[in-house]
Amino acid sequence: MEDVFGIGDKLFRLRTDNKYTLDYVADGLGIPRSTYYDNEHGNVLPKIDFIHKVATFYNVDPLIFLTGRTITVNQQQNQVANGYIHQQHNVPPDMMERWMKAAEERDRRIEELLIKTLERLSGIG
């Protein structure tokens, strides 16, 4: 099965970056070890409830599993990057604000579409 969103890689990275074993994570999620293994290795398409459980367990935004975002991107880093763009390129504040709003709206629409798609693929929608 093709892992379109790279969910398995993200699960593996979260687990190994935290130095957790498969057993530890599976126990923490209250699922069989094989279920986590299958999701991490792309043998199954994760269901929405699994993604929610995992995001809660690792304390991350569940949308990282449904988008191309990496697990290291966060709002604070985006704000720092935007400040850098503004300072280095002398972008007027009003233009920067319009750009930010447009980017946020685009991201919101993409995330809605990805969630709907994953729900349909998971048999929820």
Model confidence over 48-81: pLDDT tens digits?
Answer: 889 889 988 998 888 787 766 554 444 444 554 5
Question: What DSSP character marks residue 21?
Answer: -
18 neighbors 58 (Cβ within 8 angstroms): yes
The answer to whether residue 51 sits within a structural domain is yes
More confidently predicted of 3 and 46: 46
- Residue 75 is predicted with a pLDDT of 47
Q: Is residue 2 part of a domain?
A: no
CATH of the domain at 82: 1.10.260.40
User: Is 58 part of any domain?
Assistant: yes
Residues 6+ apart with CB under 8 A from 15: 21, 22, 25, 40
Instruction: Report yes or no on 118 lying in a domain.
Output: yes
Separation of alpha carbons 96 and 104, rounded Å? 12
pLDDT computed for residue 37 by the predictor: 96
**Domain with 117 in it:** 7-122
Number of domains in the chain: 1
* CA atoms of 23 and 15, how far apart (whole Å): 11
Tell me what pLDDT residue 35 has. Answer: 94
Query: 83-123: per-residue pLDDT in tens?
Result: 555 555 566 777 767 777 777 787 778 778 877 877 777 66
pTM: predicted TM-score of the whole model, two decimal places? 0.56
**Does some domain include residue 94?**
yes
59 is a domain residue: yes
Whether 1 is covered by a domain: the verdict is: no
Residue 65 lies in a domain: yes
